[in-house]
Structure 1
Amino acid sequence: MGGQLDLDIIKGVLRRPLGPLCGFISQFAVMPLITFGMGELFFPDPLYRLGLFTLGSSPGGIMSNFWTLIFNGDINLSITMTAVSTIAAMEWF
């Protein structure tokens, strides 16, 4: 499965910033905090906690777009968020 980035569609999605902003905050703040808490709660081994935290801190990708498509979600928003998250992850880390 592939997705094509069209700059006009991405600009249209970013003109309504609530969706991308909510996704960005969820991806880079909420998900890492939740996975950190779950790791502390469920795993006594620090390596398991680190693995779970790493998964929770990774940007979304093809599976996010796949499930969005299956459940008839906004695929343009999903692909835009994948691109934005990947670029932001490369810039910040």
Structure 2
Amino acid sequence: MRQVLDEVYRDQDRAPVREIYGRASARTRLTADMLAHLNEIPEGDYTRREMVEEINKVIQRRGEQDSLGLLDVPPRIEAVEDT
């Protein structure tokens, strides 16, 4: 899943969940269960951080955090003001 997110967010800041699902389903190594996780995420555009948080919520809601683990949440990028 990390590789899919790397591909999707390489050239854009936000992406719709359907694009992520499409890229994930094109990868033969991702299981149907991982694709099902993406189906549980509400439609919309997400930053990488938001998407990781949503995926982690699904994993936790299903009680799979011990078996699957959680994705690392990227750090927040703060805008720096010019002085």
TM over 0.5: no
Per the shorter chain, which TM-score range? Answer: 0.3 to 0.5
Normalized per residue, the structure richer in strand is 2
TM-score (norm 1): 0.30
Higher share in helix: 1
Structure with larger Rg:
1
